[in-house]
Amino acid sequence: MSALMQRLGGVFNGLSRNLARPDFSRTSTRPARVSSFDPALLWVVVALLAWGLVMVYSASIALPDSPKFARYTHTHFLFRHLLFMCIALIGGLIAFQIPVATWERLAPWLFIVSLVLLAAVLIPHVGKGVNGARRWISLGFMNFQPSELAKFAVLIYAADYMVRKMEVKERFFRAVAPMAVAVGLVGVLLLAEPDMGAFMVIAVIAMGILFLGGVNARMFFLIAFVMIVAFSLMVALSEWRRQRIFAYLDPWSEEHAIGKGYQLSHSLIAIGRGEIFGVGLGGSVEKLHWLPEAHTDFLLAVIGEEFGLLGVLSLIVLFFWLTRRIIHIGRQAIALERVFAGLVAQGVGIWIGFQVFINMGVNLGALPTKGLTLPLMSYGGSAMLMNLIALAVVLRIDYENRQMMRGGRP
């Protein structure tokens, strides 16, 4: 019995010594594994691309029944959209390999290239016209739209400009005037096409980066006032733009329902038919030659008809999360003293968020009709390519942020 008590006492004494002096040599010192980039952001983009592919097929499957598209097969737009997506993914993979510092050095040259291409579109036999607008350059396998490149080029250039002009950002003319001239030059070329929608997006991107870059509120509101006056004059001085505004205000009148308000009225009919749960995938009636451009500018109307209010709300949530996450990556870069990278990421968030807002507003009848597609989803090779390149740059910024937070170099 006494021997047993002595052994128990030895065990408790050893246990107390171990608790007082823990053995750290047995503890794992491996750091927690941190992902190289944001996987959630990537999967949301993949989900939007996949949903867009399905909806482009659904919205375009009946187009060959029309004499205008009689020479196409029912899967023509599906395979073309899939081709555009593959090209855009390759472009995105290449863009991800380029360090952010390289983009900063290339910013002025990229801006010059975009100006040259915007001017080339206006040259006869170089630019390709569709429905009275000359916006494309034929590359054989696809038509490239320089205005999409201009959005990205102005974004990169504006971010680089604000980094270079940090010391004069409180002086209005020295800080803002050169950027205003650059955006104005792009605007003149875009309005000559004409493409007022792209100019609006570019102007908002530039204004957003100026504000985020440190231009004070007084200057920002002055710039905003000037832009509002300028766009109001553009509408007031253009007969066909005024007609669009009148059609937006009263799309159901006899004059507008078969004219400028035709697309809007049928978009509203499509969304109304969808009600809460939709009529089911492939069940849209409005895409059967009633709603023009259903696979491009008015893809949301087909989504609303086939997936209902729940589908539209789900899409809004996905785009809201995507925009919010991109802005967060930009803020994180600025917190790491990477101002150019932060402004670029936030500019991409402004670009995608604003264009989604305009496209959805047009489809829902909240805004006048504009020729802006739904990012990542609508049919169109140029928009898909530049959207994925911009998002690849954001992923690269996030990748470099994570490298710095792990103690490495970007």
* CA contacts within 13 A on the Cβ side of 281: 9
Read off the pLDDT of each residue in 229-251 and give the average, rounded to a whole number: 80
Residue 321 has pLDDT above 50, yes or no: yes
Q: How confident is the model at residue 153 (pLDDT cuts 50, 70, 90)?
A: very high
Residue 26 within any structural domain of the chain? no
Q: How confident is the model at residue 160 (pLDDT cuts 50, 70, 90)?
A: very high
Residue 318 within any structural domain of the chain? yes
Residue 98 has pLDDT above 90, yes or no: yes
Rounded Cα distance, 284 and 294, in Å: 11
Residue 25 within any structural domain of the chain? no
List pLDDT tens digits, range 14-65: 434 443 444 434 434 444 344 676 889 999 999 999 999 999 999 999 888 8
Query: What is 218-252 written as a DSSP string?
Result: HHHHHHHHHHHHHHHHHHHT-HHHHHHHHHHH-TT
Q: How confident is the model at residue 11 (pLDDT cuts 50, 70, 90)?
A: very low
pLDDT value of residue 18: 43
List pLDDT tens digits, range 64-97: 888 878 788 889 999 999 999 999 999 999 999 9
List pLDDT tens digits, range 103-137: 999 999 999 999 999 999 988 888 787 766 788 88
Return the number of other C-beta atoms located less than 10 Å from residue 248's C-beta. 18
Residue 5 within any structural domain of the chain? no
Going by their DSSP bridges, the two strands 127-130 and 143-144 should be labelled as unpaired
Residue 290 has pLDDT above 80, yes or no: yes
pLDDT value of residue 244: 79
Residue 11 within any structural domain of the chain? no
Rounded Cα distance, 409 and 400, in Å: 8
pLDDT value of residue 12: 41
- More reliable by pLDDT, 244 or 106: 106
DSSP state of 10: H
pLDDT value of residue 367: 86
Residue 31 within any structural domain of the chain? no
Read off the pLDDT of each residue in 4-18 and give the average, rounded to a whole number: 46
Q: Which of 120-124, 256-260, 308-312 has the lowest mean pLDDT?
A: 256-260
> 135-144, 277-286, 363-372: which has the highest mean pLDDT?
277-286
Tell me the C-alpha to C-alpha distance, in Å, between residue 226 and each of 154, 189, 204, 229: 19, 19, 12, 5
pLDDT value of residue 278: 93
Number of domains within the chain: 1
Residue 170 has pLDDT above 70, yes or no: no
pLDDT value of residue 82: 95
Residue 30 within any structural domain of the chain? no
pLDDT value of residue 30: 42
Q: How confident is the model at residue 273 (pLDDT cuts 50, 70, 90)?
A: very high
- pTM strictly above 0.95: no
pLDDT value of residue 70: 79
Residue 13 within any structural domain of the chain? no
Q: Which of 209-213, 314-318, 322-326, 398-402 has the lowest mean pLDDT?
A: 209-213
Read off the pLDDT of each residue in 293-303 and give the average, rounded to a whole number: 91
Rounded Cα distance, 162 and 167, in Å: 9
- More reliable by pLDDT, 168 or 403: 403
- Is the bond leading into 194 cis (omega within 30 degrees of zero)? yes
Q: How confident is the model at residue 172 (pLDDT cuts 50, 70, 90)?
A: low
Would you say 263 and 293 are in contact if contact means Cβ atoms under 8 Å apart? yes
Read off the pLDDT of each residue in 201-217 and give the average, rounded to a whole number: 85
Domain that holds residue 310: 36-404
